[in-house]
Amino acid sequence: MSSVITALEHMQRAARVKVMIFDVDGILTDGSLTYGPDGEVTKTFFVLDGLGIQLLQKTGVQTAIISARKSPIVNARARDLGITHVWQGFHDKRVAFAELLAQTGLTAEECGYIGDDVIDLPLLTKVGFAVTVPSGHPEVQYRAHYVTKAPGGRGAVREVCDMVMRAQGTYEQALAPYFA
């Protein structure tokens, strides 16, 4: 799908986003899982992605996380960023997605989702703006509306947040406080 969607169509889809949903591993992180000596798993998040999420929220777009894995680190990161819609441990992400739609009163068409593996396909094929990263599984890339230029965990989320703000005409407003 992504190869036949034009830049104008990307922007039209991004303009309709009222909630942007993020997968974690491979999207908010680079997909690496580091195990400590006691078996604890650590993840690394990219600062630019975090600020992008916060700027997007300030423009009125809601944000959410839906992840198949469970991690207290993700809860901490979501709290730091002010992401209030968080579902972890959902291998069938459609269940969490249905709960999100019920809580927000939004339609699937008003949602954006960024994921990278086949477990994300049920959501990517439902939302109005489906995004993946360059390392995303080929089946995911084929069905996404947009493939980021930046890799997961290293700017892909920021790229999408900026794109949504530009498409909605709120980018300059979001950055204005930094030019004062």
Work out whether the CA dihedral 30, 137, 87, 48 comes out positive or negative.
positive
Q: What is the pTM of this model?
A: 0.95
Q: What share of the chain in percent tops pLDDT 90?
A: 88
DSSP label of 27: I
* pLDDT for res 38: 85
Q: Please tell me the least confidently modeled range out of 2-11, 21-30, 58-67, 171-180.
A: 2-11
Q: CA 9: distance to chain centroid?
A: 19
Q: How confident is the model at residue 131 (pLDDT cuts 50, 70, 90)?
A: very high
Report yes or no: 135 and 115 within 8 Å, Cβ to Cβ: no
Domains, the chain: 2-171 (3.40.50.1000)
3-state SS assignment for residue 166: helix
DSSP string of 48-110?
A: HHHHHHHHHHHTT-EEEEEESS--HHHHHHHHHHT--EEEES-SSHHHHHHHHHHHHT--GGG
DSSP label of 136: S
Mean pLDDT of the region 111-120? 98
